Structure 1
């Protein structure tokens, strides 16, 4: 196989960092960039740190990824011993190259047969999973985390999405990102297929869908999406926009959705088949091969092909499942971006749904609002649209500045007047955005700060330029005599997007706070406010604004108290001063503007 120039650049970047003594490296490369080809070529290019440390262990988390790595290594190294550690396949621990599933390595004592001193290289495919406990357990065995000794084994991780939906820092396992090339660059340089995007407004109602671990809960999502009306619209959209496509991969929610949607395709005369995690391994293998051979045009799946699928012929991706995860969206779209003879482009049809539920859509990959509806727009057009939107926003800001703050603008600029503190604390528009991302009762204090308050302390999310910082102020235990009720704040996370920061904060809150006290769905929040709550709030209000029994819920009162205790009175005074000076303009971002900002990955140290 021809080794592409950028692939050689990646190998050289890895070798340069290893020569400097660095041992934990990450490579960020778009889906379709040939990660398996690159890491298999790395094996004989990396020198042994000691005479006995000559072995390599490749770790993946799915059958397809393991099979792919084994196939490449056997072709490239026919004289080497290559073994598999997965399910019923038990490796000896002595092979030149072992390809293993992370689950099997963590089963019983299977990891113990791999002597860490014999391994020069540990390769992790889809390394964004690496800070999960199962991976960290393997890394500890090779002295790559929580070790006082400097490891001699090198850790090289590959991913198209070097971030985690739960906000946990990859810096626990990686020290440097040594190379980054995203799919836009790859398309522009003709290393990946061009792509056309069409967004279709779906009838699915997601406002009551439950959320867990950064994305929708599948069972709850399936009930909202798997309906006759939505399935019919999905198939009719494909028939109208992509019926001439030869190889369509469809992403559905769960087993029930896959079955219903397959039946809908068949009722419209389309030869469609499906595979799921429950499909017999040989049946799945045969069905995928038949699809790869072009024996039928539509293959549906749920959770099987988000990672590690190499079917270059795919020329249409149908996204029939909404998601709140940008990483998952990138992985799904990436399945259709590989080059193939005779393939001009890949058409991505995105069935977008209720935007207030916090979903990400294909336009968000280009920094556009998620509700941007497009039809057969290619990557260049999407980028041009983004540039136009940014230029227009800049012109609006300049015009507003030139007018001394008196110009009423359309679009994202909204004027808000607060006549008193009561108006300020009862304004909940700032919470609607963050609570679409999180299931916790975050409260917006001002334009750049959110607080999640509980008995254990306050979790604060602060925007500082293009950086989001999450801090925790722990409550001082009762009985201790101190001037402040809180300990000093400590930083627990730093992120480049609001979504990442919220995920990190939520992950911390799940461990530190009592869930029932901070969940937006907690039953106590819908009960009437207590006398103490109303007395506290009324102490800050004028007589005409006083609360009366039954006028506010406990949850709303708790949110107001959080705003008051975090400076609402001082903030109102500042707003009033600004208004008197003629500077009374406040910009409210569009609901998903923060979320639409493309996730940034850069070469350099991992935070």
Structure 2
């Protein structure tokens, strides 16, 4: 019996990937269920300490309270990772008055176990006199506690939500609130009367570091107003977060053929196959050795389980004690690995999708971004893991692997409005901001110089010569950027104007909002998407209904992702997805006849020269103004030629050092 017990206590542990990790003792511990349910166990026995809130935390709470006096019922708080969001919303509970009907309870919603546990810990410390329940997994809340912390997946399972009386709640708090418009959260909000603006509902406060969604779905359906914002650059400048230095490494990964998944980001399986190679894994480790081997606590983000396994093995082959945590790692083992990492017992911890949210490891002083992404939110979340202050920590070194813009990738330079391919070495936030300001100033000077000279700036207009309308509609270079962002068959029909067609004749148009319409402020929408529905013959004089605005967005990518999300429900997927087999079939005779009308007496196109999908794209361009666009380009080209001819005399009068033209 004793040998069997010994084997249980000392057996090597694995992270689910075939790696033997450091043996550890299974110490007696207080379970989370015990900690919550028993006031004498765990946190319940700790004496509450007076918490000194930071200035911005006080300002944030005041902003929320002030907004409630204006009658705003659904508010958002935008704060950088590491700012103490959990502290803020737990302290907010005591600042919100009970409802006139006596409703005094609070519900805290989160989507990860770690976030639920964090909230429970802070609430127990802040309000030892209040009853606190947990709704998560096998832990079932009463529905009548002063404060309930719930996993959103658990509270909507079966009929568990029915025990919560909405009228008895004064406050609903949502952590990581960029998830708030997902169906599970919306179901909870609907139960509490928060699915739309209502005067008699509880107060909703959503807190997040990334108040936007990569899929373009608008958070405005759940949040009416963001009442406080403080980003990481401000907090670093104010010394509330650790300074960050950036190094970018040119990646040889070929992401051009990696398709997008349902969320709009890279498909995980295909991305892993592109990134998880011996060559790239060795580049990753050697780059870390060259730039950050002296760092004490490095967190590495990988693509999937296979990538974690391979890259962990590569670190070990180079002589480093690297360990890993994945979603398959048992909870007790994960806790021990994290404890060892926090205590500096090994230098490199690898993960995939585990530590992007709700993880407090302040000793992290290096982040390796081995997982390319198109999502700015995910990038900020990953970088944010290293921004917490810690004794003896001067800064956090971010090592990022950059790739081509054509893949839609976002990198650390893009966070500062810089070229995604920019290579920097140990540049801190101030230096990155300075580089961005220099770029802005240079662009402004070029534009002003061009305006004074009467000539367009070299980068302002790029002409492509088309000998005919047919050449124009055959040119697909305009779709390159949008198709790096979207899997759908968008077609460019004009400057910053794109069309996605349905077989019924209906279509969605993405277009830039005219500058004189754009409202002041950095977050004003710059793009919009509208739907134009085709009507049945005889129902109206016009074949189309009036355009209906679907969304507005601050960035082109957000507009595309939002329009894609809408189109995936409104239009047949088999028609709009550009990699459907039918697009590679030969064109129909009707398509050829339609296009060949433009050739006049020219040699007609043959079946072998086009695919069905290419022909469909060309016809879309024709239906949406290609003839007019060609005429405008021709006129613009003639004006440019005339300007160049007028400029030649003054150019010849200038004296320059160098050979003279013969």
Is the structural similarity TM-score above 0.5?
yes
Gaps of 5+ in 1: 586-607
Q: Specify the SS of the correspondent of 1:177.
A: strand
Post-superposition Cα deviations, 1:487-511, rounded to whole Å, max 9, x if no partner, equal 1110011100001000110001100
Structure 1 residue corresponding to 2:239, chosen from 159, 165, 190: 190
Which residue does 1:446 correspond to in 2? 494
Q: Specify the SS of the correspondent of 1:581.
A: helix
- Separation in 2, partners of 1:169, 1:151: 24
Which residue does 1:472 correspond to in 2? 531
Q: Specify the SS of the correspondent of 2:82.
A: coil
Q: How does 1:497-516 map to 2 (within 5 A)?
A: 497-516=555-574
Q: How does 1:103-142 map to 2 (within 5 A)?
A: 103-142=153-192
**Cα displacement (A) at 1:402:** 3.6
Post-superposition Cα deviations, 1:395-454, rounded to whole Å, max 9, x if no partner, equal 3323333443377x3x67633233321232122221000000000011111112111111
**Alignment pair present for 1:39 and 2:77:** no
Which residue does 1:347 correspond to in 2? 397
Q: Specify the SS of the correspondent of 1:348.
A: strand
- Separation in 1, partners of 2:70, 2:325: 46
Which residue does 1:161 correspond to in 2? 210
- The Cα RMSD (Å) is 1.7
- Separation in 1, partners of 2:594, 2:146: 70
Q: Does the CA contact (< 8 Å) of 1:265 and 1:271 recur in 2?
A: yes
Closer, same or farther: CA 544–124 of 1 in aligned 2, 3 Å? same
**Cα displacement (A) at 1:381:** 1.2
Which residue does 1:276 correspond to in 2? 326
**Cα displacement (A) at 1:170:** 0.8
Which residue does 1:553 correspond to in 2? 611
Which residue does 2:482 correspond to in 1? 434
**Cα displacement (A) at 1:373:** 1.4
Post-superposition Cα deviations, 1:140-159, rounded to whole Å, max 9, x if no partner, equal 11111157x53331000000
- Find the structure with the greater CA-based Rg: 2
Q: Does the CA contact (< 8 Å) of 1:404 and 1:582 recur in 2?
A: no
Which residue does 1:293 correspond to in 2? 343
Structure 2 residue corresponding to 1:237, chosen from 287, 310, 325: 287
**Cα displacement (A) at 1:545:** 6.4
- Separation in 2, partners of 1:105, 1:264: 42
Q: Does the CA contact (< 8 Å) of 2:86 and 2:119 recur in 1?
A: yes
Which residue does 2:24 correspond to in 1? none
Per mean C-alpha deviation after superposition, the further-off stretch among 537-546 and 54-63 is: 537-546
Which residue does 1:537 correspond to in 2? 595
Q: Does the CA contact (< 8 Å) of 2:529 and 2:552 recur in 1?
A: yes
**Alignment pair present for 1:309 and 2:359:** yes
**Alignment pair present for 1:24 and 2:82:** no
**Alignment pair present for 1:424 and 2:482:** no
Q: Does the CA contact (< 8 Å) of 2:172 and 2:202 recur in 1?
A: yes
- Separation in 1, partners of 2:410, 2:289: 24
Structure 1 residue corresponding to 2:449, chosen from 393, 399, 414: 399
Which residue does 1:61 correspond to in 2? 111
Post-superposition Cα deviations, 1:107-130, rounded to whole Å, max 9, x if no partner, equal 111111111111111000010100
- Separation in 2, partners of 1:503, 1:103: 25
Greater RCO (CA < 8 Å, at least 6 residues apart): 1
**Alignment pair present for 1:519 and 2:548:** no
Q: Does the CA contact (< 8 Å) of 2:196 and 2:222 recur in 1?
A: no
Which residue does 1:577 correspond to in 2? 635
Q: Does the CA contact (< 8 Å) of 1:445 and 1:568 recur in 2?
A: yes
Which residue does 1:199 correspond to in 2? 248
Closer, same or farther: CA 406–7 of 1 in aligned 2, 3 Å? closer
Q: Does the CA contact (< 8 Å) of 1:125 and 1:159 recur in 2?
A: yes
**Cα displacement (A) at 1:26:** 0.3
Q: Does the CA contact (< 8 Å) of 1:166 and 1:503 recur in 2?
A: yes
**Cα displacement (A) at 1:247:** 0.8
Post-superposition Cα deviations, 1:352-399, rounded to whole Å, max 9, x if no partner, equal 234322111111100112111111111111111112222222233233
Q: Specify the SS of the correspondent of 2:98.
A: coil
Q: How does 1:247-266 map to 2 (within 5 A)?
A: 247-266=297-316
Q: Does the CA contact (< 8 Å) of 2:531 and 2:547 recur in 1?
A: yes
Closer, same or farther: CA 36–583 of 1 in aligned 2, 3 Å? farther
Which residue does 1:177 correspond to in 2? 226
Post-superposition Cα deviations, 1:220-257, rounded to whole Å, max 9, x if no partner, equal 21111111111111111111110000111111111111
Q: Specify the SS of the correspondent of 2:418.
A: coil
